[in-house]
Amino acid sequence: MRTILFFILFIALQTKIYAQNSLIKSYANNFNQWVSYSGDLKFSKKWGFHLDGSLRKNELFSKPQQSIIRIGINYHINTQVFIAAGYCFVENAPYGTFPSKASFSENRFWEQVQIKTQLQRFEWSTRFRLEQRFSNTPILKSNNFYGEGPAIFTNRLRVLNRFSIPLKGKTIQDKSYYLSISNEILVSYGKNVAANTLDQNRVSLAIGKIIPTIGRLELGYLLLSLYKPDGIKIERNHILQIGLSSSLDFFKKK
C-alpha cells in the first residue's frame, strides 16, 4: 500500500514540477554548505525525544544562509513505524543571486509519520511531514529600511523517500560503509501561498559510515531546487552536506 501511495504522489508531484518549470524565466546557481545533527533519544519502550539542528552557510562557510533548531516528541508504534510532533525555529539570512531584503525568522509546528522497511539489501525510509509555518518575511519599514514583517501563516507537506545500501555485506551495521540516495518534495498550500505551490525539490547522494555507540556520519551532495513565490525565479542550490544522526536508547528493559 505504501509503495502504491508513494508512486501516485511521485507522479502527481513530478507533473507539478514540470508545469511550474515551464513558467520559470529566471535561474540562479548557489553553492552552499550544511552541517547538521539529528538525534532520536528513547526514554521508554514507546516514547522518546527528537532533537536536530542545522547550520547552513554560503560561499565556502564565509556567509550565513540559514540556522535551524527542531525539537519534538516521538512515539514508536512498532520497530518500523513512529510518529512525532514538535516545534522548529528558523533564522534566514540574505544569500545568493536572489537574496531576501533582510534577515528574518520563522516559527513552525510540525507533525510526521516515518516508516522504515528492509528490502533485501536496501533500507527504505519514508517520511510524511506536515508543517504550520509563521514566517516574518521582510517588509519596507517607515525608516526606508527592510525589516521583519508580521507573521504570515502557510502550510507545507513534505514527502521524503530515502534508500540506503551497504557497500559490503547484506545489512548496514556497526562499522559499515553505505551509500544513500534520497528525494524530498515540499509542497505549500493554503490561502497565503503565492504563485508556487511547489516549494522545493531535494535530491541527494551521500556516503556514510556507522560509528558504534555514536551513530551515522555522512558526507554528500544535495541539489535543492527552490521555487520563489513570484513564479518567475528558481534557485538551484548545490550543497555540500556533512551530517551526524543517532538513535540512542536510554531505556533499559527490566
Residue-averaged pLDDT of the chain: 89
Q: For residue 85, give the nearest of 48, 43, 37 by alpha carbon.
A: 48
DSSP 99: -
How many whole angstroms separate alpha carbon 214 and alpha carbon 175?
A: 11
β-strand pairing of 26-42 with 233-249 = parallel
List the domain boundaries for the chain: 2-249
62 against 2, higher pLDDT: 62
Handedness of CA 13, 19, 23, 29 (dihedral sign): positive
Q: How far is C-alpha 62 from the chain's CA centre?
A: 22
Residues in the chain, overall count = 254
3-state secondary structure of 119: strand
**pLDDT at position 34:** 98
DSSP state string for 117-147: EEETTEEEEEEEEEEEEEE--EEE-TTS-EE
d(CA 216, CA 209): 6
Name the nearest CA neighbour of 186 among 128, 124, 144: 128
- Any idea which residue has 539570512 for its cell? 93
With a pLDDT cut of 90, the percent of the chain lying above it is 72
Would you place residue 230 in the very low, low, confident or very high pLDDT band (cuts 50, 70, 90)? confident
Helix/strand/coil for 138: strand
Indicate whether 16 pLDDT > 70: no
Range 58-64 average pLDDT: 93
Distance between CA atoms of residues 106 and 27, nearest Å? 25
**CATH topology for 2-249?**
Porin (2.40.160)
pLDDT digits (tens, 9 = 90+) for 168-207: 988 998 889 999 999 999 999 988 887 667 899 999 999 9
Whether the pTM exceeds 0.75: the reply is: yes
Nearest to 185 by CA among 4, 39, 3, 7: 7
| Phi, psi torsion values for 39, nearest 5 degrees | -135, 135
Give tens-digit pLDDT for 87-126.
999 999 999 999 999 999 999 999 999 999 999 999 999 9
Amino acid at 9: L
- Give me the pLDDT at residue 13, please: 54
Q: Does residue 19 have a pLDDT over 90?
A: no
Give the percent of the chain with pLDDT over 70. 88
**pLDDT score at 66:** 97
pLDDT tens for each residue of 138-171: 999 888 899 999 999 999 999 999 999 999 988 9
